A and B are shown apart, each in its own frame.
Chain A
Amino acid sequence: MKIIICLKQVPARDAVLRLNSASCWIEESDLTFEVNEPDLYALEEALRLKEKHGGEVVVCTLGPARAQQAIKEALAKGADRALHLDDNVFISLDAFGIAQALAAAIRKEDPDLVLTGLQSDDSGFAQTGVILAELLGLPHATIIMEIQAQEKSLKVKRELEAGWFEWMELPLPALLTIQSGINKPRYATLKGIMGAKSKPIQKLGAGELALTAEALEPRQKITRVYTPVKAAKTQFFEGSPKEIAETLLDKLKNEARVL
């Protein structure tokens, strides 16, 4: 089974984010980045499918040079090789443009299965995977919590709201978006890290992918990013932990009247 795993690099979860001077995105200099969390679960799922059914795991990442770090992490964990889509024209793409670029790269690979995380922790549109399936002409299922691969089809457990799930079947080739918690992602071993150094990373730009400006034309743009105006009038307490505990209890008892 040839599996493509789409992996995005996003600001680290505990990084302190600042807005950039134009207030249209965050300031990316001096920021630490990590692999988007749901993508880590998707990678783990790809590696497990390969261990069980054989085949190849190919990482596909769109991002600037810094994204090499995320790619290397995936290779160290066991992916076989990587496609790195890096081009200045990729910088301001929307979900549709990103999916166009990914589709152009993935089409050439003709995979049996494409996995993505269900959404990214930065912009969080939750669209790229589904658009990618449409562009590749593949059936898809979203928010997946279990995969059972059969000869020519997949049986998958899809998460629904409020604790409900649904089993569904789809023929291969297919695309799945993976939910966090589907498995326990592994850590890279020292051997894996050493081995990753010789694994191929193919760089692809818009030219190699025959992508025209028109195909990448955004359908929407983020015009401004800003700190939310707090609607709730939160009362904040300060002082020593003991003072805070006493103030809080007093408020809960005498103001909110919930104790």
Chain B
Amino acid sequence: MSETILVFAEHHAGKLARPAWEAIAAAQHLAGDLKAGVVAAVLGENPGAMANELAQADVQQVLAVASPLLREYTSDGYAAAAAQLIRERKPQYVVFSHTYQVRDFAPKLAARLGGGLASDCLGYRCEGRKVIFVRQVFQGKFYADVEFVGAPPYSVSFQASAFREDAVQRGPAPAPVENVAASLDASTIRVKPGERFREAKQAVDLAQAEIIVAVGRGIKAPENLEMAKQLAEALGGELGASRPICDSGWLPMDRQIGSSGQTVAPKLYLALGISGAIQHQVGMKGSKTIVAVNKDKEAPIFEVATYGIVGDLFEIVPPLTDAVRKMKSR
């Protein structure tokens, strides 16, 4: 029997999310290299419709894991149901997308099953049967090769867009769907999820902006924001920021760009003093043209920048603003 790769398909309130398809793309890719079969699993109170949707992908089988106690996501419920499934099916690898939900339960699951979890991976490479996973360390300044030791299951979560949704291979015919009843005990589900909400409505919709000037820690003090604001105004763009700036209260949260803030893809994105940790990059790397100004030439932002300036933003920005004004007045 060939090895199995179990892939976890995340959903929100019964709708499969993009991370589900990205995880399937990753599992299919890995299965191709290992000559293994992909089994997709979706957990919920009533996951049948989602399972049928997943069955369109080229996978061996889809497992619709159902229980009334899986109606809402809880780490306790998901870890228990997934652990049962994995103990029964004995996959070699378990593949996830590195989402907030997966971060919440996958380490618990792996700890319970006795296998390792290589989290937040960018990709992998094979050396014979050995799979080496690649992930960022030190906020993206370096990459690290990670190998599993000991017995499977080996769990791996991939960063958003490490594998693309549109890379999912469709099957010639729908894959068989198997209904699995998870046997869960209500008393083991200790966490009680409540309402989901957004903070006071967003005053600015950065997603609509064509030009964004974004500032990071390199701006150093709130009084220096004026300089960035002037550049944004000269360019006719909006001001955005990385998380630490909004955490410090220097700019309101609705200006925050990144995984916990807004996702933007303007035609021009200027990153001033932003190192470009992955949490920021996922929110802006779809921008058409990216300009990065940073004093650290090793800053990860330069990996996605079209144009890079290694230097002090306090020296670069004022003449840039002047030049933009001059150009516009012509």
Contacts and interface: CB of A to CB of B under 8 A. Distances in A.
B197 A230 contact: no
Interface string B240-277: 00011011000001100001111100011000000000
A163 B199 contact: yes
Which 6 A-B pairs have CB atoms at the shortest separation, nearest pair first?
A: A219-B116, A181-B247, A139-B190, A220-B116, A167-B194, A130-B107
18 contacts: A17-B142, A130-B108, A131-B108, A133-B108, A134-B111, A159-B260, A163-B254, A166-B195, A167-B195, A218-B149, A219-B149, A225-B137, A235-B306, A241-B318, A241-B320, A242-B323, A249-B323, A259-B235
A21 interface: no
Contacts of A141: 75, 104, 191
A224 B147 CA distance: 10
B211 to A, nearest CB: 8
Given A181-B246, A259-B268, A96 B190 contact: no
B304 A232 contact: yes
A165 B198 contact: yes
Contacts of A222: 137, 144-146
Nearest to B210: A258
B143 A225 contact: yes
Contact of B103 (A126, A164, A220, A224): A126
Interface string A247-259: 0110111001011
A127 B268 contact: no
What's the interface size class on B, roughly? Answer: 35 or more
A247 to B, nearest CB: 9
B196 A226 contact: no
Contacts of A164: 196-198
B250 to A, nearest CB: 12
A225 B142 contact: yes
Interface string A177-218: 001110000000000000000000000000000000000011
Interface residues of A, number: 77
Contacts of A224: 144-145
B202 interface: yes
B167 interface: no
Nearest to A141: B191
A160 B292 CA distance: 28
A161 B149 contact: no
Interface in B178-226: 190-199, 202, 211, 217
A122 B141 CA distance: 10
Interface of B: 75-76, 79, 99-100, 103-108, 110-112, 114-120, 132, 136-150, 190-199, 202, 211, 217, 235, 243-244, 246-247, 253-254, 259-263, 267-268, 288-289, 291-292, 298, 300, 302-311, 315-316, 318-320, 322-324, 327
Contacts of A139: 75-76, 190-191
Contacts of B310: 236
Contacts of A219: 110, 114-117, 148-150
**Interface residue SS majority, chain A:** mixed
Contacts of A235: 306-308
Interface stretch (A55-63, A75-83, A168-176): A168-176
B317 to A, nearest CB: 9
A140 interface: yes
Nearest to A171: B190
Most A CB contacts (10 A, CB to CB) among B105, B309, B319 go to: B309
A180 B217 CA distance: 14
A164 B194 CA distance: 13
A237 B322 CA distance: 18
Contacts of A166: 193-197
A11 to B, nearest CB: 7
A253 B268 contact: no
B173 to A, nearest CB: 34
A44 interface: no
A133 B103 CA distance: 13
Nearest to A183: B247
A172 to B, nearest CB: 10
A149 to B, nearest CB: 16
Contacts of A26: 138, 142
A128 B141 CA distance: 21
